[in-house]
């Protein structure tokens, strides 16, 4: 059974394709799966990623990909019709700077999708709390991992930018076992010099989740268009 994010992603891409762009930039393109799908539709697709190994994989596949940071895009103003940011926003050092850059190079709009949780649902609230814990652990280890991000987090970065923002939340509720969650989150502690405070917090969160249950990630999708 596919992970919910694999169900949300095609719907996100259709938001972009519905605009009938002639060109698109994918920020944080990974190994280029979206670039390939865009190219198959006749769209001129370009990607950036901060990891040189991913850039190499994409180039070997014949894709136009460069190694670059989201807040310093190596492109002229209005170089693309659209900019895509799929599951990268929470890994950006500055969402404000990255969105400003995306809007600078994207003539018609910027599209973003990121994990989201409906915290009015107890099982989702427990999952969101575990995700916040995991992100704090990741930051302790030197990573960049923020959120879970809300619509307000995105909108607040736009200031007085003249654009229209369409926000869509999607949630396919599917249960997660406590045993799988415990194993997944405990593995985040690998590599820490001292794990005791984080371990105690994790135990408390898992104890709470035992009463509420856990459900998988939802998604927030935004279309920021001119």
* Confidence (pTM): 0.94
Which of helix, strand or coil describes residue 148? coil
What's the pLDDT at 8? Answer: 95
Task: Give the rounded percent of residues in the chain with a pLDDT score beyond 70.
Answer: 100
Ranges of the chain with pLDDT below 50: none
Q: Of how many residues is the chain composed?
A: 226
d(CA 156, CA 69): 21
What's the pLDDT at 183? Answer: 96
What's the pLDDT at 150? Answer: 96
In the block, which residue shows the tokens 């991992």? 145
What's the pLDDT at 159? Answer: 85
d(CA 159, CA 208): 38
What's the pLDDT at 195? Answer: 78
Q: How far is CA 89 from CA 20, 65, 85, 95, 184, in A?
A: 24, 19, 7, 6, 22
- Closest of 216, 222, 225 to residue 6, by C-alpha: 216
Q: How far is CA 169 from CA 8, 100, 141, 172, in A?
A: 10, 23, 31, 10
φ and ψ of 126, to 5 deg: -65, -40
What's the pLDDT at 5? Answer: 86
For residue 45, what are its two tokens? 């697709």
What's the pLDDT at 114? Answer: 97
What's the pLDDT at 191? Answer: 86
Q: Do residues 107 and 80 lie in contact, with contact meaning Cβ atoms separated by under 8 Å?
A: yes
């Amino acid at each position: 059974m596919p992970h919910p994010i694999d169900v949300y992603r095609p719907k996100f891409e259709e938001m972009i394709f519905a605009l009938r762009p002639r060109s698109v930039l994918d920020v944080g393109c990974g190994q280029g799966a979206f670039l390939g799908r865009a190219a198959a539709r006749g769209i001129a697709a370009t990607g950036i990623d901060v990891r040189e190994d991913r850039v190499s994989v994409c180039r070997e596949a014949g894709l136009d990909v460069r190694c670059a940071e989201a807040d310093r895009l190596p492109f002229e103003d209005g170089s693309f019709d659209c900019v895509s940011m799929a599951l990268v926003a929470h890994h950006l050092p500055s969402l404000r700077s990255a969105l400003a850059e995306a809007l600078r190079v994207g003539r018609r709009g910027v599209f973003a999708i990121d994990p989201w949780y409906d915290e009015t649902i107890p099982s989702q609230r427990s999952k969101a709390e575990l995700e916040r814990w995991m992100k704090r652990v990741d930051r302790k280890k030197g990573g960049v991992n923020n959120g879970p991000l809300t619509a307000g987090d995105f909108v607040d970065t736009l200031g007085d930018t003249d654009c229209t923002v369409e926000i869509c939340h999607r949630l396919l509720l599917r249960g997660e076992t406590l045993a799988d969650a415990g194993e997944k989150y405990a593995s985040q502690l690998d590599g820490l010099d001292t794990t005791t405070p984080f371990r105690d917090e994790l135990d408390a969160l898992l104890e709470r989740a035992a009463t509420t249950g856990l459900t998988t990630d939802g998604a927030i999708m935004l279309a920021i268009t001119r």
